Structure 1
Amino acid sequence: MSRLAEFRHLEQELARQTAQLEEMKNDEGLKREVEFETKLRDLLAEYNFSLKNIIAAIDPQSLNRGAPQPQPKRTRRPRQVKVYKNPHSGETVETKGGNHSILKQWKAEHGADEVETWLQ
């Protein structure tokens, strides 16, 4: 589309929107709505309220609709107690994890695969 054709198209669109705007300015319903909004905002300013205060008073649930709901806190399931029994010494170790000092010694001495076979 040439620049002149684009200009004329935009000019026609502007004329159409201007006519629509003038038509709306003469609409009595719109005039009443504008007057109501002006009076409401003046009243809110006089009493130091905001639209959120009014909405909360009329419909308290509406404020919670847009806000994300807090996720329930997830908890880890408790670790199971593992019991290892050393067949060489007869000593037992109860642990919930692999960070037990005696268990580490056994794994260093006998190998991790062999110590895992001692699990009761």
Structure 2
Amino acid sequence: MSRLVEFRQLEQKLAEQLAELEAMKGSSELQHEIEFEKKLRDLLAKYNYSLRDVINILDPLAGRVSVEPEAAKATRKAREVKVYKNPNNGEIIETKGGNHRLLKEWKAKYGAEEVEAWVSK
């Protein structure tokens, strides 16, 4: 895209945004909110309070991070023991995970799906 086309597009977007800004300036809702904010800030300054002070008065628990004790945290379910029996040679493996040396060898030799079918229930 040429720089001139890009410039014209940006110029058009800017004109649209300026028109939208002018429309908002004339909005009675915006004027009402601006007036409210000004009066609120004046009141806070008069009594030497900040917005954070007001929030703490209205909702003392706001912004506080609740810390759960260690015992209350959910623990992971223990892995169940799987028993694999090789039908070719009768060897049996009991393991909770798939990181067993012989199990890996079987999966490499016979395929993972075949070995998973050997699980005793």
Which category describes the TM-score, using the shorter chain as reference length?
0.5 to 0.7
Higher radius of gyration, 1 or 2: 1
The C-alpha deviation readout for 1:25-76, integer Å capped at 9, x for no partner, is: 0000110000000111111111110001111111222222xx4x346479xx
Separation of aligned partners in 1, 2:63 and 2:47: 21
Gaps in structure 1 of 5+ consecutive residues: 75-120
Q: Which residue of 2 aligns with 1:51?
A: 51
Separation of aligned partners in 1, 2:43 and 2:70: 43
Which amino acid in the other structure matches residue 49 of structure 2?
A: F
Q: Which residue of 2 aligns with 1:22?
A: 22
Per the normalisation by structure 2, the TM-score is: 0.53
What is the percent sequence identity of the aligned residues? 54
Gaps in structure 2 of 5+ consecutive residues: 72-121
**Partner SS, residue 63 of structure 2:** helix
Separation of aligned partners in 1, 2:23 and 2:60: 38
**2:66 is equivalent to residue 62 of structure 1:** no
Which amino acid in the other structure matches residue 28 of structure 2?
A: E
Aligned length: 71
The Cα RMSD (Å) is 1.6
Separation of aligned partners in 1, 2:33 and 2:16: 24
Q: Which residue of 1 aligns with 2:100?
A: none
Matches within 5 A, 1:1-120: 1-64=1-64, 67=65, 69-70=66-67, 72=69
